[in-house]
Amino acid sequence: MRELDSPAPEPFILIDFGSTYTKVVAVDAAGPLLLGVAQAPTTVSTNVTIGLSEALSRLKEQVPGLDLQRARKLACSSAAGGLRMVTVGLVPDLTVEAAQRAALGAGAKLVGTFAYKLSSREVVRIAELRPDIVLLAGGTDGGNEEVILHNAEVLATSDLETQVVVAGNKAVTPVIERLLREKGKSVRVTENVMPDLNQLNVEPARAIIREIFIERIVMAKGLSDARAMVEGILMPTPAAVLEAATCLAQGAEGEPGLGELVVVDVGGATTDVHSVARGTPTQPHVLARGLPEPYAKRTVEGDLGIRYNAPTILESVGLTKLAQSLLKLDRQLNLAPAVEELSRDVGRIPQDELGWALDVALASAAVEVAVHRHAGRIRSAFTLQGEVILLYGKDLTAIPTLIGTGGVFKYGKGPRRVLEKALYDPQDPESMCPKAPRMLIDGEYIMAAMGLLATRRAAAAVRLMKQHLRPA
């Protein structure tokens, strides 16, 4: 794509071990210049270094003079299924919600949430979910102690073998840590995710979750071997995309950002939504309710991947609605078998009109559901002063920029059609989705790579993203 021609080039190779493909991006941070992009199937069933070596080989063919040994190599990963996590808290609207935000912001895949005192049946259910981490929260500092102590006791005496991260009432944290360790559980302790009522403190828990990701998930399927080939596997891929989105919105080191934005990341296993925005009410007389919304927020929809979970998308939206996206084709379709085949052949690239149309239909459905779940909602309530409008979650209606990233946006035939499904729907007026944003596409599929680069050269990452965003 480009040659290394800076007076003092600073080459980086940025690697994303994805669930389907291993993607490699070469940049010269001194330019900054995007030098080349290549990918190969992720060989997670054998050893991921095989796919990495193939992707690097293809990259070397594109970039004359690229010295693979000299270039700094940074990596993120969502291979091996990502980091499965369960949260346990006091009440759903408070400590459970705080724990969920810690999990999702760190790039974990949330597979279960539990509140109040755990029953024996719920402990069995947690074991069935096979989490890599149980995040145990509950009680403000100085608040309720009974529930988190009960939950610690039942987890300690269970057969569950997983990492427990304790992030609850600090008054009983030492007792909980001792109790779990005495029963042979692996324990990490961090600060309370909600030290005071409606006060969030999720960053310490996020840092612990990322540490565990590095230590545990990268040991799977050859990722430990890959560590010897790179400077560092820094974070899960979703965390890298959130880092890129935050950096792109805010700017860095004299390189201006784009301002508040939403990024929709459609993948084979999940569809993630990242909003970098205050999300405060834009309409008069609307009152925000619930926990304070984080400026940089991520939600992940583990049931909306357009390969692994294609049948679930079909089930969620219904056969009729999905078929409506394919009406322009001149033949009748039997969608269910075609969708089921995609889930079995996750590396499949469309080869004909039907294949491309089905990808657009699945991605459109995934985007519509994911963004509507991510955005806040307004509801009417009646008080002594009369009717009021309450906002739960983020108001994204005035967001100026909406970005699509993922293979379906780079390679697909209808990227704008897919992204339009993220917009406000007058038929669902309570949903606070974007109304009239500028719609852009991550044309070279580099956002995760730029999130990695931002940890070392933030201004170069922002400039490269702006250079390679294109209108949808």
Beta strands in 198-315 (DSSP E): 232-236, 251-252, 255-256, 261-266, 271-276, 286-289, 296-301
Convert the pLDDT of each residue in 250-304 to its tens digit: 999 999 999 999 999 998 888 999 999 999 999 888 999 888 888 999 888 877 8
pLDDT of residue 465: 98
Convert the pLDDT of each residue in 359-373 to its tens digit: 888 999 999 999 999
Tracing tokens 């049948």 back to the chain, one arrives at 311
Q: Which of 206-210, 241-245, 302-306, 390-394 has the lowest mean pLDDT?
A: 302-306
Q: Where are the alpha helices (DSSP H) in 375-437?
A: 407-411, 415-419
Classify burial at 321, counting beta carbons within 10 Å of its beta carbon; exposed 0-12, middle 13-18, buried 19 or more. Answer: middle
Handedness of CA 368, 125, 220, 13 (dihedral sign): positive
Convert the pLDDT of each residue in 61-120 to its tens digit: 999 889 988 999 999 887 655 678 899 999 888 888 888 888 776 667 788 999 999 999
Q: How confident is the model at residue 338 (pLDDT cuts 50, 70, 90)?
A: confident
Domain regions of the chain by residue span: 83-214, 259-445
For residue 40, give the nearest of 32, 48, 30, 31 by alpha carbon.
48
State the average pLDDT for the chain: 88
Mean pLDDT of 223-236: 75
For residue 75, give the nearest of 57, 100, 95, 49 by alpha carbon.
49
Whether 326 has a pLDDT exceeding 70, the answer reads no
For residue 246, give the nearest of 462, 405, 453, 396 by alpha carbon.
462
Q: How far apart are CA 270 and CA 273, in angstroms?
A: 10
* Distance set, CA 402 to CA 83, 103, 249, 424 (Å): 27, 24, 11, 12
Q: How confident is the model at residue 311 (pLDDT cuts 50, 70, 90)?
A: confident
What are the residues whose beta carbons fall under 8 Å from the beta carbon of 308, sequence distance 6 or more? Answer: 19, 268, 269, 343, 346
Q: Which of 22-36, 236-250, 301-315 has the lowest mean pLDDT?
A: 301-315
Beta strands in 291-339 (DSSP E): 296-301
- The pTM for the full model equals 0.84
What token pair was written down for 170?
């600090």
pLDDT of residue 80: 58
Amino acid occupying residue 206: R
Question: How much is the CA Rg of the chain, to the nearest whole Å?
Answer: 23
pLDDT of residue 330: 44
Beta strands in 82-195 (DSSP E): 84-89, 109-115, 133-136, 163-166, 186-189
Convert the pLDDT of each residue in 146-199 to its tens digit: 999 999 999 999 999 999 999 999 999 999 999 999 999 999 999 999 999 888
CATH level 2 (architecture), domain 83-214: 3-Layer(aba) Sandwich (3.40)
pLDDT of residue 317: 77
Beta strands in 313-442 (DSSP E): 377-383, 386-392, 401-405, 438-442
Whether 224 has a pLDDT exceeding 80, the answer reads no
For residue 106, give the nearest of 83, 136, 126 by alpha carbon.
83
Q: What are phi and psi of 244, to 5 degrees?
A: -65, -45
